[in-house]
Amino acid sequence: MIGVIDAGTTTIKLAVYDEDKLVAIKKEPVVKHNPKPGWVEIDAEDLAKKCLSFADTAIDEYGVEVIAITNQRTTAVLWDGKTGRPVFNALGWQDMRANALAEEMNDSTIRMARTAGMIARGVVKLLPTLKNKRRVKWLITLSRLSIRPNHTSVKLCWMLRELGEKKEKYDLKAGTVDSWLVYRLTGEHLTDYSNAAATGLYDSYYLRWSEPILKIVGADEEMLPKTLESDRIFGEYRNVPVTGVIADQSASLYALGCWEEGEIKATNGTGTFVDLNVGEEPQTSPGGLLPLIAWKLKSEMRYMMEGMLFYSGSAVEKLREIGIYDDVSKTSEMAFRSKNDDMLLIPSFTGLATPHYVSVPGLLYGISNAMTREDIVKALLESIAFRIAEIVEIMRKEFPYETDRIRCDGEMSSNDFFLQRIADVTGLKVERGAVLSGTSFGAHLVAGRALGKWKKDFCMPFDKVFEPSLDLSEKYRRWKRLLEISKKLKV
């Protein structure tokens, strides 16, 4: 038996697996606060208590052999090593309070790094044989280096500045949700490579915390966790080993069997994360994809490139809140009923992520006295599919692998209309995982490998395949034009 603690954006779950069978699942809400517009805080102490309670349940009721952890990335937690208690509420990955701080950082020290990167790009144009050298790739990455408000780095900087001189009275420890939960379970200050790489504090090329970025942030390496392979033992809780620690999107990529270069998955939950396996070497992206570590295990290393949408499932939930429908499970049927092909929507609720990273107004175009609720639902679902298509376009342009499919998981992937539109607009078949919670399934697979239970050639099954059946190229072109208009719109 393997118990997985899955700390997501809206819920923290315990999933118990017997081999490949899910035998139990328990959920609790993640307690969040929004003290100001754009601020998203998580009660870190409440999260830790629920984690400990789930671990007790896994041991006492199910007799698990191991506890695994998967989690939302980039959420920043700062705590006092003397007491083991948080100094602040955790700052969630959607929190945008540090936008001005990120701009300040980008306008100062980061500008010099970009200049060095631009020089490296110029050298590669003259000497193309250098482009695959790891150090050259690292320098080229600097040309697009940008601290973004959703990075752990800028959130940590914000908290340290808020503390000011008060920070001297604490034994400060910082990390992401995985390291916070590992600390409360085992007393060890550890993280895995997939979580470290997403912080904006880590050098994924040389596998170390970035000293220059730490100086910009005002942190030191002693404050940060040690990195381990995901299938190492991170410690014990009540004599049960903790292993299979892996970030949510990496866990999904693993669960969906995207183990080889060129394989793509999209996890559609609160947000959407599109990930491309690029193999054993880190890569760069002129188009704005994020270079990340997919996983580092004792026997292998994989990198991935990622594009994201801040709001997808949460956008569908927002329409429920304002009364467009009373149950999100009805949205697929509603969208299929719509006959309107003119309505377009720009799904910018707190700005657009990859590849734009701009704050633009959300738009609904094509309203008329004949429009219906079904038309609005269709426009929303199509707009999210179009945003995914933007990311897939960049991936296929920059990394011309031979691939004919996208694999999907996440709660929003239960929506047939939505997945069909992804297939239609990308021209790729879409395979839906039979287990929508790929994050916990992937963590359980990694933990199982740590125990020697199975080899890598086992992944979740797929319950449905969506083949491209409609030419959406003209509608997609119109939508992209509307998106460009929204970027320039000022009223």
pLDDT in tens, 294-315: 999 998 999 999 999 988 999 9
Taking 90 as the threshold, does the pLDDT of residue 67 lie above it? Answer: yes
Average pLDDT over residues 162-182: 96
Is 275 part of any domain?
Answer: no
- Residue 151: what pLDDT? 87
Taking 70 as the threshold, does the pLDDT of residue 202 lie above it? Answer: yes
User: 12 or 125: whose pLDDT is higher?
Assistant: 12
What's the burial of 421, exposed, middle or buried (CB within 10 Å: 0-12/13-18/19+)?
A: buried
pLDDT band at 456 (very low <50, low <70, confident <90, very high): low
Q: Which amino acid is at 235?
A: G
What does the radius of gyration of the chain's CA atoms come to, in whole angstroms? Answer: 22
pLDDT band at 455 (very low <50, low <70, confident <90, very high): low
- Residue 458: what pLDDT? 75
What is the rounded distance in angstroms from the CA atom of residue 143 to the CA atom of residue 421?
A: 35
What is the rounded distance in angstroms from the CA atom of residue 372 to the CA atom of residue 58?
A: 47
Beta-strand relationship, 66-71 and 240-247: parallel
- Residue 112: what pLDDT? 56
Query: Is residue 211 domain-shared with residue 353, that is, in the same domain?
Result: no
Note whether 37 and 86 are within 8 A (CB). Answer: no
Beta-strand relationship, 272-279 and 301-309: antiparallel
- Residue 103: what pLDDT? 81
**∠ Cα 354 356 362 (to 5°):** 100
Taking 70 as the threshold, does the pLDDT of residue 491 lie above it? Answer: no
H/E run at residue 334:
helix 331-337
Note whether 380 and 371 are within 8 A (CB). Answer: no
Is 195 part of any domain?
Answer: yes
- Residue 148: what pLDDT? 74
Query: Is residue 206 domain-shared with residue 184, that is, in the same domain?
Result: yes
Is 417 part of any domain?
Answer: yes
Q: What percent of the chain has pLDDT over 90?
A: 73
User: 180 or 21: whose pLDDT is higher?
Assistant: 180
At which of 142, 168, 196 does a domain end?
A: 142
H/E run at residue 69:
strand 66-71
What is the rounded distance in angstroms from the CA atom of residue 216 to the CA atom of residue 198?
A: 17
Taking 70 as the threshold, does the pLDDT of residue 256 lie above it? Answer: yes
Query: Is residue 183 domain-shared with residue 121, that is, in the same domain?
Result: no
Query: Is residue 20 domain-shared with residue 160, that is, in the same domain?
Result: yes
Q: Which residues pair with 76 in a beta bridge?
A: 91
Q: What are the angstrom distances between the C-alpha of 405 and each of 151, 314, 474, 476? A: 30, 25, 22, 19
Query: Is residue 92 domain-shared with residue 131, that is, in the same domain?
Result: no
Helices and strands (H and E) in the chain: how many: 15, 25
Shortest CA distance to 10 belongs to which of 42, 34, 38? 42
Taking 90 as the threshold, does the pLDDT of residue 20 lie above it? Answer: no
Lowest mean pLDDT among 71-75, 169-173, 235-239, 355-359: 355-359
Query: Is residue 182 domain-shared with residue 323, that is, in the same domain?
Result: no
Q: What are the angstrom distances between the C-alpha of 399 and each of 145, 241, 289? A: 20, 39, 11
Query: Is residue 343 domain-shared with residue 218, that is, in the same domain?
Result: no
Note whether 181 and 247 are within 8 A (CB). Answer: no
Is 276 part of any domain?
Answer: no
DSSP symbol at 30: P
* Backbone φ/ψ region at 271: left (φ over 0), alpha (ψ -120 to 50), beta: beta
At which of 204, 220, 247 does a domain end?
A: 247
Note whether 350 and 96 are within 8 A (CB). Answer: yes
What is the rounded distance in angstroms from the CA atom of residue 38 to the CA atom of residue 447?
A: 36
Q: Which amino acid is at 119?
A: I
- Residue 248: what pLDDT? 96
- Tokens 């304002």 sit on residue: 322
- Residue 93: what pLDDT? 86
Query: Is residue 33 domain-shared with residue 118, that is, in the same domain?
Result: no
- Residue 94: what pLDDT? 83
Give the full edge-to-edge strand order of the sheet including 172-175. 85-86, 77-80, 172-175
DSSP symbol at 169: G
At which of 209, 232, 247 does a domain end?
A: 247
What is the sign of the dihedral through the CA atoms of 323, 329, 330 and 331?
Answer: positive
CATH number at residue 360: 3.30.420.40
Lowest mean pLDDT among 104-108, 191-195, 274-278, 300-304: 104-108
Query: Is residue 134 domain-shared with residue 193, that is, in the same domain?
Result: no
Is 254 part of any domain?
Answer: no
Give the full edge-to-edge strand order of the sheet including 290-296. 290-296, 301-309, 272-279, 264-268, 405-409, 429-433, 462-466
What is the rounded distance in angstroms from the CA atom of residue 381 to the CA atom of residue 327?
A: 15
Q: What would the pLDDT profile of 221-237 be if each residue is shown by its tens digit? A: 999 999 999 999 999 99
User: Model pTM greater than 0.85?
Assistant: yes
What is the sign of the dihedral through the CA atoms of 194, 161, 102 and 110?
Answer: negative
Domain assignment of residue 357, given as a range: 309-488
Query: Is residue 200 domain-shared with residue 238, that is, in the same domain?
Result: yes
Q: Which residues pair with 304 in a beta bridge?
A: 277, 292
Is 185 part of any domain?
Answer: yes
Q: Which residues pair with 5 in a beta bridge?
A: 14, 69
Residue 9, SS3 per DSSP:
coil
Taking 60 as the threshold, does the pLDDT of residue 101 lie above it? Answer: yes
Q: What would the pLDDT profile of 353-410 be if each residue is shown by its tens digit? A: 899 878 788 899 999 999 999 999 999 999 999 999 999 999 999 998 999 999 999 9
Query: Is residue 16 domain-shared with residue 67, that is, in the same domain?
Result: yes
- Residue 489: what pLDDT? 83
- Residue 188: what pLDDT? 98
Provide the mean pLDDT of the chain: 91
- Residue 113: what pLDDT? 55
Residue 199, SS3 per DSSP:
coil
Q: What would the pLDDT profile of 125-144 be if each residue is shown by its tens digit? A: 655 655 565 655 555 555 55
- Residue 118: what pLDDT? 57
Average pLDDT over residues 107-112: 61
Q: Say what angle helices 44-62 and 177-186 make with each other, to 10 degrees.
A: 60
Query: Is residue 48 domain-shared with residue 81, that is, in the same domain?
Result: yes
Is 268 part of any domain?
Answer: no
Is 220 part of any domain?
Answer: yes
**Considering its fold, how many domains does the chain have in total?**
3
- Tokens 């939508």 sit on residue: 479
